[in-house]
Structure 1
Amino acid sequence: MKLFTVFLSAASILGSLVASAQSGTIMGKVTDSYGHPVELAAISLPQLKMGMSADSLGYYRITGVPNGHWKIQSTSMGYKSWLGHVDVSDSVVVIHDIVLEASKASLNEVVVSGTMKEVSKLDSPVPVEVYTSKFFRANPTPSVFDALQNINGVRPQLNCNVCSTGDIHINGLEGPYTMILIDGMPIVSGLSTVYGLSGIPQSLIERVEIVKGPASTLYGSEAVGGLINIITKNPSTAPVLSADVFSTSWAEVNADLAAKFKVGEKAHSLVGVNYFNYQNPVDNDNDGFTDITLQNRISVFNKWSFQRKENRVLSMAARYVYEDRWGGQMNWNRSYRGGDEVYGESIYTKRWEYFGTYQLPFKENITFMFSANGHDQNSVYGTTLYNANQYVGFGQLSWNKQIKRHDLLAGLAYRYTYYDDNTPATRSFEEPGRNKVSHTNLPGVFVQDEITLNENNKVLLGLRYDYNSLHGSILTPRINYKWNSPDKNNVLRLSIGNGYRVANVFTEDHAALTGSRDVVFVTELKPETSWNGNVNFVKKIFMSNGGMVGLDATGFYTYFDNKIIADYDTDANKIIYDNLSGHAVSKGISLNVDIALPNGLKFLLGGTAMDVYSKQGGTKIRQLFTEQFTGVWNVGYAFRSLGLTVDYTGNLYGPMRLPLLSDADPRRENSPWWSIQNIQLTKSAGKGLEIFGGVKNLLNWTPNKGNPFIIARAHDPFDKNVVFDNNGQAVVTAENPYGLTFDPSYVFGPNQGIRGFLGIRYNLYK
């Protein structure tokens, strides 16, 4: 019956095409050697510069194909490239099915993050993890920030129980050590690290590349712990129309819409909109505060691709985000904003971005990358006003040349940052009442040589010099070595590199603004420096029944000088910032296991064990908010005869050290083991339509379990009933038996319990 339905559909399409006397059409299905559909396989006619991607069931259709005998090519991650021929004539539909063979080189997709140039993942001397849009669809979320929760060694960390701000930790290092790139450009940094990952439409994401370990040699400051590069879809190969809409039983609504269109013969444009709305205050832990932040967010994205002469491409994109979020006491409304009657944290964010890449029309491979962004934040945390503006301009010229065994990359970069706020960070002591706006100029030059010693050995040498207008000269070298077995089923990578970071506390650490603690700077903060060593081993095992097992193991060690640590322990009423006089270390091991069986069952399992601490005066102190173990899993099974897929995803975290306010504070000093688990069913309804639904947080875990409370003195957020001694310390009284002040910084996991979700996903291909 299914074959008959496909035949009728093909016949119907054929009849309509003949009747309207349109140009020729090529259509078919892409499968693997077992007959399983290959989702999102790329199909192209290279002589005509035409192409598209297969839908979720492997079907494709290319219309408007001129008469003739043409080459047809198909590629997909994990498969060998396929090349064939097809004859096309007017008003005829050619049914051309494609069978792809699994590649013994395994995941040989192109990556750019490790070396700043296109190279296959297998050949890259720098280990790069790649996660496609299909991976993220196994657990749909309203933002990229939430989507990263099921990647091994990467953890979205919430920093405030009230307004749900957060950052991304890689291998235990805090968010400011992670650089966020969009299409290879440093778009999300500084002020936007708190909110910048919200509102990137997931319908526009082609893949996410992650480099764990220092990347400052190529990307400069902030890439100390690693980088996350969000690659957006190519307008020329994206679906004509796509939609991804879902809602939850908590009344959250998220919609991702995208459409592409063609202008002339050589210009393609992709437009996307993300809308997220949550306006349902919930207080399941009965502390009088909203469990999660209420949000109203819209993001608009537009990307253009222009095909120039000699196949040189000009790509440009722009994004605008507006968000209104608040959290606080359940009876808060806008009339209380900034007052001390009802506590609330309210943030209005306006953000714009513009970036692009142009390959210059020279014989040499010279590329110019540029970006500019502005971030305007109008926020109130109780009675504390924080208004800030940041503008960043970036330009980079890079040259790539291959000379025999040497693959050279050199470049010039310049980054300008304007920053102004109403905090002591920009206060002018020479002219009281006026701000001293921060202007940072950061020119840099880098060079890299990737040397192919032979078919099995490569060495990469890199060096970068930056001149920070506030802190002077900074030099960051690195060296990488890669060995692979002749069959390329075993790969060993070794690396060592230097990194640096210039800190801005108020833009990076939300705890400096919220709660009743005073912020204290002991001295002027100096740039942090670090050295990192990394060993990575990858092994692919191909089973006789057609299954595959992939192992990816990594050991890492990072040593910090001048590390800036927020001290919550010395004084319960203060957060003290200073450069560490000793040193800090982040070390550990991680393992990813990828299993794909021919019956459609897939496992992606990961675990990371780490030790992150500082040492000063002979005393070792574990870093706050850092687990010693994390595990993730993604288990999927496809019932092909039913068009039904089941995905079971989850994570597991070990105990973290948490900030207490006093010796009498009854909350746990360390968090318990905790886990967030989700299940999803996806039903294919044909012609690019999917219906999906499931349950998030199956265990209904929230951080208040086992704790008398999470937010300290939630009933007295302005400390009106707290008695202080002469040293400013809270005094134990009958009304305040633990001697606490209001503090929402005791947070280590999401505060949203179990909920159901239901959505639809649609992709229309031409």
Structure 2
Amino acid sequence: MKLLILLLMSVIPLNVYCQHSLSGKISLEGQTEPAFGASVYIQELKTGTTADTSGNYYIGSVPSGTYTIKISYIAHPTVTERNVRITQNLKKDFTLKSGENALNEVVVTGTMKEVSKLDSPVPVDIITAKFIYKNPVSSIFEGLSYVNGVRPQLNCSVCNTGDIHMNGLEGPYTMVLIDGMPMVSGLSTVYGLSGIPNSLIDRVEIVKGPASTLYGSEAVGGLINIITKNPSKAPVFAADVFSTSWLDYNVDLGVKLTPSSKVSSLIGVNYFNYQNPVDHNNDGFTDLTLQNRISIFNKWSFSLPDNKLATIAARYFYEDRWGGQMNWNKSYRGGDEVYGESIYTKRYEVLGSYQLPVQEKVTLQYSFSSHHQNSVYGNVPYMADQKIVFAQLLWDKEVGKHNLLFGAPFRYTFYNDNTPATSRPDGDDHADQTYLPGVFVQDEIKLGDHVLLLGARYDYNSRHGSIFTPRMAYKYKFNQTDVIRLNIGRGFRIVNLFTEDHAALTGSRDVIIKEALNPEQSWNANINFVKKIVTGNSFIGFDASVFYTYFTNRILPDYDTNPNQIIYDNLDGYAVSKGVSLNLDFNFPFPLKIIAGGTYMENYQNENGVKFRPVLTEKFTGIWSVSYELAKSGISFDYTGNIYGPMRLPILSEDDPRAANSPVWSLQNIQMTKKFQNGLEIYGGIKNLLNFTPPSNSIARSFDPFDKDVSFGSDGQVIATPGNPQRLTFDPSYVFAPNQGLRGFLGMRYTFR
């Protein structure tokens, strides 16, 4: 019998019965909370586990050997430790650090204060540069199409200008900030959003729901805060260049300068060029607007005595874009022979902050922007100038359990154009000038696991008078895995019609303003629940919200009453936006990561007892991102996509042959990236895998863009004729998706630290 045992021992490998364990604790650098749900994976054995609520992990039955251990945790870069020798029970602790491309857990947008994302009483979504790289785009405008509940909306089939819809609300209800200041608003919401270079973006913070208590007008449906990179932490040099099979070219460059130990500077340049007119849908018009765009950004950071900081940044943006009939050139600009929409944009910005040299934490924030627009839409000129001056003094004071924030903002807006927006009864042109001083206070009260945030703001608008906006937020942390938030607030918006609605500028419809428009007001409530779930050796992040917004005095363009007019009026009734959203993050012990989300919403207006849905408002949206990495080869794969439910479209009449509602449609992309150890990355893939494009007849009467063969009656209505039996006019506002179908792309990215 002993002989048999010895014989078995000689033929069975030693590591079968020499089993050990690997255990320890995973901590987060600079944080007291453990890394609950972090994955620990032994690559050679293809086995792993997740950390418990105390951050402890345990893997048993590990044979003797030398292994590669990977530790990954949502919001942090993966840590790989090679050549870990296990010959006995091994206890090994790990500390995870935030990286340059990691999801930074510190957010500022919800409360204007630096606070961890988990501890913020206001739910904040975060998008990093790394997320944008999963599907390379030439502007943040396109990159936001893979954020749950956010949809970039094209407003014109010809010039491809657009805005950002959030939870089904139109672009003017979403405020866009740069480093917390209102740089992209009014006129630039339509034309300037695409000019923010990706090279300067550190992260994008998104708050859904009114934030007017802190940020004032326009923050009615939500806000998008583009946080630029800290020059002291940026890489020395970064470059990102790519092109697609449509022959569009995008270049992003970033350079860091360090003149001294207390001064650092970041220079970012973005250049985009597309000069290849194509007409795949055979409507006679360019499928994609031709563009020549450059944006230059320079930011300086200064370290002051007593750990105080100061920053100042400037940006210059220029764009020349046109779309129209395929035989258009600049000699036809402004004429009625060949139709084209040509837009020249020049924009200057300065923004910064300065912590005052006083004992208290007092910060001055300031910004200035100048936006000049020189456009023609066929034979209709549109010339506009907008200047915005903004300054805000903030005092951050902590007293016991009260974290107080006092603010004194001031905003001056100058706007002038050649449309009825700035005309007066005497026929003269008068620039519109608005002064908006205000004060606000916010009190964040911390009582153990309970956090209560109270806020109130008073503004005095030089045209509309006093405006008061209160706010309340509550957060309760059940345990390490479950958090619930309740937010209630009021929003308001001052409307500038001609800076917000492209269809009012094309000349295809007359603009009717029925009365002096009052500010829009809204009340919003949303409940957010966050849960972390550990299932075996996997981790799931669960984030669900229910939202409800009630509008009064809402102003929306009426396209339906008269197909030749856009009628603006305060709604005689109310409007509602409500829905539910869900985000899921899957973190596996092997290198697979999945992000998925969906939003179902109902938006409607009720006027004189009649309930109807606004145009270009979808029923549901969905997004996903699937990433897989082959660590040894340095190759990774990304599959991204979105899906949109039906939306009502602006048809011209009951005889209009175009569909009254859009189909369910989806844009999907796949990318492969090869990373080299010297900081070089080469990537390529396919965009719009399903080759989806909108109907080829999206532009009504594209063959007669100046309506030369359209007959009108004495009442202004179109008369049916043998050449126009469906009573149509030229109209490019019927648009819900880009015209670019399936296309390949190839790019190179290099980072030197």
- Per the normalisation by structure 1, the TM-score is 0.86
Aligned to 1:499: 491
Question: Which of 473, 482, 506 is 1:490 aligned to?
Answer: 482
**Amino acid corresponding to residue 196 of structure 2 in structure 1:** I
Are the aligned partners of 2:274 and 2:290 in contact in 1 as well (CA < 8 Å)? Answer: yes
Aligned to 2:274: 278
Aligned to 2:671: 680
Aligned to 1:762: 750
Work out the CA distance in 1 between the residues paired with 2:241 and 2:266: 18
Question: Offset at 1:556?
Answer: 0.3
Question: Offset at 1:543?
Answer: 4.1
**Amino acid corresponding to residue 639 of structure 1 in structure 2:** L
Work out the CA distance in 2 between the residues paired with 1:146 and 1:357: 29
Question: Offset at 1:35?
Answer: 7.9
Alignment of 1:416-431 (within 5 A): 416-430=412-426
Aligned to 2:533: 541
**Amino acid corresponding to residue 204 of structure 1 in structure 2:** L
Work out the CA distance in 2 between the residues paired with 1:637 and 1:326: 39
Question: Offset at 1:429?
Answer: 2.4
Work out the CA distance in 1 between the residues paired with 2:78 and 2:163: 39
Are the aligned partners of 2:256 and 2:265 in contact in 1 as well (CA < 8 Å)? Answer: yes
Alignment of 1:608-647 (within 5 A): 608-647=599-638
Aligned to 1:196: 192
**Amino acid corresponding to residue 462 of structure 1 in structure 2:** G
Deviation by residue 1:244-265 (Cα, 9 ceiling, x = unmatched)? 0000000000000010011122
Are the aligned partners of 1:418 and 1:437 in contact in 2 as well (CA < 8 Å)? Answer: yes
Query: 1:691 aligned to 2:645?
Result: no
Work out the CA distance in 1 between the residues paired with 2:725 and 2:78: 70
Aligned to 2:445: 451
Work out the CA distance in 2 between the residues paired with 1:108 and 1:251: 35
**Amino acid corresponding to residue 763 of structure 1 in structure 2:** T
Aligned to 1:173: 169
Work out the CA distance in 2 between the residues paired with 1:613 and 1:311: 51
Aligned to 1:715: 703
Alignment of 1:151-300 (within 5 A): 151-300=147-296
Quick one: structure 1 residues 624 and 252, their matched pair in 2 at CA, closer, same or farther if it must change by over 3 Å? same
Question: Offset at 1:362?
Answer: 1.2
Alignment of 1:306-321 (within 5 A): 306-321=302-317
**Tell me, what secondary structure is at the counterpart of 1:686?**
coil
**Amino acid corresponding to residue 738 of structure 1 in structure 2:** Q
Query: 1:582 aligned to 2:579?
Result: no
Are the aligned partners of 2:40 and 2:589 in contact in 1 as well (CA < 8 Å)? Answer: no
Quick one: structure 1 residues 757 and 631, their matched pair in 2 at CA, closer, same or farther if it must change by over 3 Å? same
**Tell me, what secondary structure is at the counterpart of 1:194?**
helix
**Tell me, what secondary structure is at the counterpart of 1:566?**
coil
Are the aligned partners of 1:33 and 1:101 in contact in 2 as well (CA < 8 Å)? Answer: no
Question: Which of 399, 402, 406 is 2:398 aligned to?
Answer: 402
Aligned to 2:458: 465
Query: 1:702 aligned to 2:702?
Result: no
Quick one: structure 1 residues 81 and 290, their matched pair in 2 at CA, closer, same or farther if it must change by over 3 Å? closer
Are the aligned partners of 1:515 and 1:744 in contact in 2 as well (CA < 8 Å)? Answer: no
Aligned to 1:511: 503
**Amino acid corresponding to residue 688 of structure 1 in structure 2:** G
Quick one: structure 1 residues 117 and 528, their matched pair in 2 at CA, closer, same or farther if it must change by over 3 Å? same
Query: 1:739 aligned to 2:732?
Result: no
Question: Offset at 1:516?
Answer: 1.5
Alignment of 1:39-438 (within 5 A): 78=75, 99-101=94-96, 109-430=105-426, 432=427, 434-438=428-432
**Amino acid corresponding to residue 539 of structure 1 in structure 2:** K
Work out the CA distance in 2 between the residues paired with 1:276 and 1:621: 40
Work out the CA distance in 2 between the residues paired with 1:363 and 1:491: 35
Question: Offset at 1:34?
Answer: 4.3
Provide the aligned C-alpha RMSD in A: 2.0
Deviation by residue 1:396-445 (Cα, 9 ceiling, x = unmatched)? 00011111110000110000011111011111323x3x311111100010
Deviation by residue 1:23-58 (Cα, 9 ceiling, x = unmatched)? xxxxxxxx985489xxxxxxxxxxxxxxxxxxxxxx
**Tell me, what secondary structure is at the counterpart of 2:676?**
strand
Work out the CA distance in 2 between the residues paired with 1:194 and 1:174: 12
Deviation by residue 1:273-300 (Cα, 9 ceiling, x = unmatched)? 0000000001001000001100000000
Aligned to 1:477: 470
Are the aligned partners of 2:39 and 2:73 in contact in 1 as well (CA < 8 Å)? Answer: no
Work out the CA distance in 2 between the residues paired with 1:80 and 1:195: 36
Question: Which of 548, 557, 567 is 1:566 aligned to?
Answer: 557
**Tell me, what secondary structure is at the counterpart of 1:198?**
helix
Question: Offset at 1:555?
Answer: 0.3
Quick one: structure 1 residues 35 and 337, their matched pair in 2 at CA, closer, same or farther if it must change by over 3 Å? farther
Question: Which of 653, 660, 665 is 1:669 aligned to?
Answer: 660
**Amino acid corresponding to residue 611 of structure 2 in structure 1:** K
Work out the CA distance in 1 between the residues paired with 2:73 and 2:388: 37
Are the aligned partners of 1:33 and 1:100 in contact in 2 as well (CA < 8 Å)? Answer: no
- Per the normalisation by structure 2, the TM-score is 0.87
**Amino acid corresponding to residue 75 of structure 2 in structure 1:** G
Question: Offset at 1:99?
Answer: 4.8
Work out the CA distance in 2 between the residues paired with 1:542 and 1:513: 54
Question: Offset at 1:733?
Answer: 1.3
Are the aligned partners of 1:515 and 1:745 in contact in 2 as well (CA < 8 Å)? Answer: no
Work out the CA distance in 2 between the residues paired with 1:649 and 1:737: 44
Query: 1:752 aligned to 2:740?
Result: yes
Work out the CA distance in 2 between the residues paired with 1:396 and 1:335: 46
Question: Offset at 1:199?
Answer: 1.9
Are the aligned partners of 2:41 and 2:590 in contact in 1 as well (CA < 8 Å)? Answer: no
Are the aligned partners of 2:494 and 2:519 in contact in 1 as well (CA < 8 Å)? Answer: yes
Are the aligned partners of 2:271 and 2:294 in contact in 1 as well (CA < 8 Å)? Answer: yes
Question: Offset at 1:686?
Answer: 2.1
**Amino acid corresponding to residue 731 of structure 1 in structure 2:** I
Are the aligned partners of 2:573 and 2:606 in contact in 1 as well (CA < 8 Å)? Answer: yes
Are the aligned partners of 2:73 and 2:587 in contact in 1 as well (CA < 8 Å)? Answer: no
Are the aligned partners of 1:414 and 1:443 in contact in 2 as well (CA < 8 Å)? Answer: yes
Are the aligned partners of 2:103 and 2:127 in contact in 1 as well (CA < 8 Å)? Answer: no
Deviation by residue 1:353-409 (Cα, 9 ceiling, x = unmatched)? 000011111111111100000000000001110000000000000011111110000
**Amino acid corresponding to residue 521 of structure 2 in structure 1:** T
Are the aligned partners of 1:723 and 1:731 in contact in 2 as well (CA < 8 Å)? Answer: yes
Gaps of 5+ in 2: 1-37, 44-71, 80-91
Larger Rg: 2
Work out the CA distance in 2 between the residues paired with 1:193 and 1:184: 16
Question: Offset at 1:193?
Answer: 0.3
Q: Percent identity?
A: 63
**Tell me, what secondary structure is at the counterpart of 2:132?**
helix
**Amino acid corresponding to residue 449 of structure 1 in structure 2:** D
Aligned to 1:529: 521
**Tell me, what secondary structure is at the counterpart of 2:503?**
helix
Are the aligned partners of 1:78 and 1:102 in contact in 2 as well (CA < 8 Å)? Answer: no
**Tell me, what secondary structure is at the counterpart of 1:192?**
helix
Deviation by residue 1:113-144 (Cα, 9 ceiling, x = unmatched)? 00001111111100001111111100110011
